[in-house]
Amino acid sequence: MDLQDKKTSELSCDLHDNSDKNERKLALSHKILMSVEKPGRYVGGEVNAVMKDPSKVEVRFAFCFPDVYEIGMSHLGIKILYGAFNQVPYFWCERVFAPWVDMERQMVEHNIPLYALESGDPVGEFDFIGFTLQYELSYTNVLRMLELAGIPLRAADRKDLHNIVVGGGPCACNPEPLADFFDIFFLGDGEEVDLEVMELYRQCKKEEKGKEEFLRMAAQIEGVYVPALYDVAYNPDGTVRSYTPREGAPAVVKKRVVLDMDSAYYPEAFPVPMIEVVHSRIAEEVLRGCIRGCRFCQAGFLYRPFREKSIDVIDAQCRALCASTGYDEISLSSLSTSDYSRLNELIDRLHQWTEKDKVSLSLPSLRVDGFSPELMERIHSVRKSGLTFAPEAGSQRMRDVINKNVTEEELLHTVDVAFTEGWTRIKLYFMIGLPTETKEDVLAILELGKKVVDAFYGNKEKPKGKAVEVALSAAAFVPKPFTPFQWFGQDTMEVLREKQRELTGNVRSRRISVSYHGAKTSFLEAVFARGDRRLCAVMEKAVEMGLHFDGWDDQFDFDKWMEAFEACGIDPAFYANRTRGLDEVFPWDHLDYGVTKEFLKAEYERAYKGLTTPNCREKCANCGALCYKGGLCVEKREDMV
């Protein structure tokens, strides 16, 4: 039979048509791609990836995520900003992810520079190289990526108005351990400020201005922190004495806030990865901020004020994203989605079309007290694989200290509902090493686990023929800037290990399993979370020693890290374990996230007295976020009039 006789539609496939005229060139050879794990990470070519003609754009932005593709592609922030930047015809934003160690080796061996996924062009050719700073243990990857791109690490060594290295995200609230490497940090919501800085760059380029002038002008934009414009002085005891701005930079840099979530930019499409990533689904941000004020939680303070999107807007955005991605799951995302004021109404509205379109809804962040049978009925499509809650601490005393505002009764009621609804696997997240914690508080984690098991056996409507499994997971607490615990000295690794032993050595039920996560990584995280500029030298040393992917257990090398600290003559315990005086100047005191230091201090003191603070909906705690005059802060005021 002649191949050409086959009745096909008008399209035909030429056997030798292996090189389309408009085929996108891959940055890496077939041989290299075949020598690494998951080559799909490195090839781009996804649906909705934005391609532009480089000759027709004026500013090119390499959006770098300092971890592997599967993690970066699951991150919401990059999707929002990628869309926002690419909406502007003369900007082109492309994605860059950290090559995993096998590919990194290949790139070094073959002298292949880090490249952007869309065009395949080397990152060194870009105007902006932007990093999202989500996690302290990704900092070495940031420097490693600059190195792979062939860009000088230190900002001072990059003289021209080109390769401007910028960073944003939660860790930008204390970016000092990275201050020497970055030109600009963006504080707060990036949707507007990033674009303003890109626009300024475009103008400066046209007017042939230099990098220094550009940075001076950028520092005048609200939400822009140019670290080079601040001189730091230290006290003899090693603490910070002062930050002094130069060249007209503001003494205090205010974070930017997008107040109206309904009119804020939200993408109608985002690149759909061809390979499986961590979250293969649509993320719809339903609200920003959190009303809770848990004292350990940095995000809860950084993202104030609490702002919701309207149901109409969420509905329209979900429809658009379903139509552009083909995903069959929508995750209603936020720091605490059960705090959305009209959640049941929202879900009912979405169900008007999602069920017909075979799209399921999921709620990634349910509070113990936000789980109702009514809600479960609406989210019946949630797979019954397991339920996760985060009581955070075992004893009520401890939960009061951290202001979790969840009672044991509520937790037991919730798991009882879950058992009735057919769940048998419950995972509970805790922290150990919290301020004022005693041995009794640690053991209370096990007691709580036992009570959950008992609740299962006491439930008459529990699933038949199945055993209950309760997994208790304990992470080591890391004190973070802009939280009431920012003064607290982290438990030493020895103390944390002792607490871990208490947990694992006292399990009395076969239905309970206990796991904990590394004291060493938490220690390092604590060092960099509250570190200052002197840590830049350690970062540089660590990268020189080949450290990277510190957040991955199989790559983390604690001993090498200690060598790096020693080589630089820096004691990491000074940053991690030292309890600060209430009058100490912090390396982030010149950055303003709305929440005042006085408020945090008051909360710190209330914590030690075991006093809780009501959530923002119940009563305004005067945290300072009212200064933005938006969100729940203002709604509350109107109610009170």
What are the residues binding another protein (CB under 8 A)? 1, 3, 6-9, 11-13, 15, 17-18, 20, 23-24, 26, 29-31, 33-34, 39-40, 42-47, 272, 274-276, 280, 323, 325-328, 358
C-beta of 357: minimal distance to another protein in Å? 8
**Choice between 42 and 574, CB closer to another protein:** 42
Please tell me whether residue 298 adopts helix, strand or coil conformation. helix
Please tell me whether residue 283 adopts helix, strand or coil conformation. strand
**Choice between 25 and 609, CB closer to another protein:** 25
C-beta of 11: minimal distance to another protein in Å? 4
Q: What are the structure tokens assigned to 122, written together?
A: 């080397």
594 Rama sector, left if φ>0, alpha if ψ -120 to 50, beta otherwise: left
C-beta of 322: minimal distance to another protein in Å? 9
**Choice between 275 and 627, CB closer to another protein:** 275
**Choice between 241 and 380, CB closer to another protein:** 380
Nearest residue to 337 (alpha-carbon basis) of 364, 309, 316: 364
**Choice between 120 and 152, CB closer to another protein:** 120
State the number of CA atoms in the 13 A half-sphere of 597 facing the CB: 15
* Percent helix, percent strand, percent coil in the chain, to nearest 5: 40, 15, 45
* Residues 108, 79 contacting (CB under 8 angstroms): no
What does the alpha-carbon distance between residue 356 and residue 97 come to, in Å, rounded to a whole number? 36
C-beta of 118: minimal distance to another protein in Å? 11
**Choice between 17 and 605, CB closer to another protein:** 17
What does the alpha-carbon distance between residue 267 and residue 82 come to, in Å, rounded to a whole number? 8
Q: What are the structure tokens assigned to 5, written together?
A: 């006789």
**Choice between 282 and 387, CB closer to another protein:** 282
**Choice between 33 and 93, CB closer to another protein:** 33
Angle of CA points 205, 209, 210, to nearest 5°: 105
**Choice between 78 and 322, CB closer to another protein:** 322
Strand ranges in 161-272 using DSSP code E only, listed in sequence order: 164-168, 184-186, 224-225, 230-234, 240-245, 253-254
Angle of CA points 355, 360, 362, to nearest 5°: 140
**Choice between 358 and 508, CB closer to another protein:** 358
User: What is the phi/psi pair of residue 170, to 5°?
Assistant: -55, -40
* Residues 459, 415 contacting (CB under 8 angstroms): no
Nearest residue to 347 (alpha-carbon basis) of 384, 317, 375: 375
Nearest residue to 382 (alpha-carbon basis) of 317, 322, 428, 329: 329
C-beta of 204: minimal distance to another protein in Å? 36
C-beta of 80: minimal distance to another protein in Å? 21
C-beta of 324: minimal distance to another protein in Å? 8
Please tell me whether residue 222 adopts helix, strand or coil conformation. coil
**Choice between 40 and 614, CB closer to another protein:** 40
* DSSP-assigned states of every residue in 53-68: -GGG-SEEEEEEESS-
C-beta of 463: minimal distance to another protein in Å? 17
Q: Cis check for the bond before 175: say yes or no (omega within 30 of 0).
A: no
Amino acid of residue 232: V
Q: What are the structure tokens assigned to 77, written together?
A: 């922030």
C-beta of 635: minimal distance to another protein in Å? 38
CA-based Rg of the chain, rounded to a whole angstrom?
A: 26
Strands 224-225 and 184-186: antiparallel
Q: What are the structure tokens assigned to 324, written together?
A: 């552009």
**Choice between 30 and 206, CB closer to another protein:** 30
**Choice between 26 and 573, CB closer to another protein:** 26
Beta carbons within 8 Å of 75's beta carbon, 6+ residues apart: 65, 132, 134
C-beta of 456: minimal distance to another protein in Å? 25
Dihedral (C-alpha) 406, 409, 412, 417: value to the nearest 10 degrees? -90
Q: Which helix (H) or strand (E) holds 476?
A: strand 469-476
Edge-first strand listing for the sheet containing 387-392: 387-392, 425-432, 469-476, 512-516
**Choice between 11 and 641, CB closer to another protein:** 11
Beta carbons within 8 Å of 20's beta carbon, 6+ residues apart: none
* Residues 67, 277 contacting (CB under 8 angstroms): no
C-beta of 280: minimal distance to another protein in Å? 7
Please tell me whether residue 449 adopts helix, strand or coil conformation. helix
**Choice between 327 and 558, CB closer to another protein:** 327
